[in-house]
Amino acid sequence: GFDFPVGDADANGPYVGTDGRRHEGWYVATRFGESYALGTHTGEDWNGRGGGDSDLGQPVRAIGAGKVVAAAVTEDPWGGVVVVEHFFYENQQRRRVVSLYAHLSRIDVRSGSLVKRREVLGAIGKDPQGRYPAHLHLEVRRDRELPATYWPSSHHRDLAWIRAHYEAPTDFISSRRQL
């Protein structure tokens, strides 16, 4: 099964922000397939409800069990990135996806590590230049061969191409929950 990468398994629950105050829950600020300044968004940007940088340093968890296939600090605007490969069965067929977690301020796993669902991979951070408030950029890719920092809009890929190679994270997780 799969769970959400922030807060509790349902992306709820409190956290104590960088401002020292208690905040409740999480939300998606930029959605999958949304068009914005950097092109077409390939994942979801998760933010704490406290706003601003209140969620900086909060734990980021694996959406499901798998193997870490990349864990490194990369170029701008990605920063700290972890990629986890997941195998699962659906309709009696073995499937594979990879989840990507970007803008991490801390990476707690190494490439080759096996992780459990909800295991801490690192912490929410910002892009290396600090242009955007702290958040988690989460992708679920069908195509494992794409480089970790691949951005389809930079390669003139349209929304149809993105939908063929990526999953909408919330839809993917919500339809594959095991409680």
Task: Give the pLDDT of the chain (179 residues) as one tens digit per residue.
Answer: 999 999 999 999 999 999 899 999 999 999 999 999 889 999 999 999 999 999 999 999 999 999 999 999 999 899 999 999 999 999 999 999 999 999 999 999 999 999 999 999 999 999 999 999 999 999 999 998 999 999 999 999 999 999 999 999 999 999 999 75
For residue 27, which of 1, 43, 50 has the smallest C-alpha distance?
Answer: 50
Selection from 160, 36, 169 nearest residue 101 by Cα: 169
Q: Exposed, middle or buried, 142 (CB in 10 Å: 0-12/13-18/19+)?
A: middle
Whole-model pTM? Answer: 0.96
Buried b (16+ CB within 10 A) or exposed e, 56-75: bbbbbbbbbbbebbbbbeee
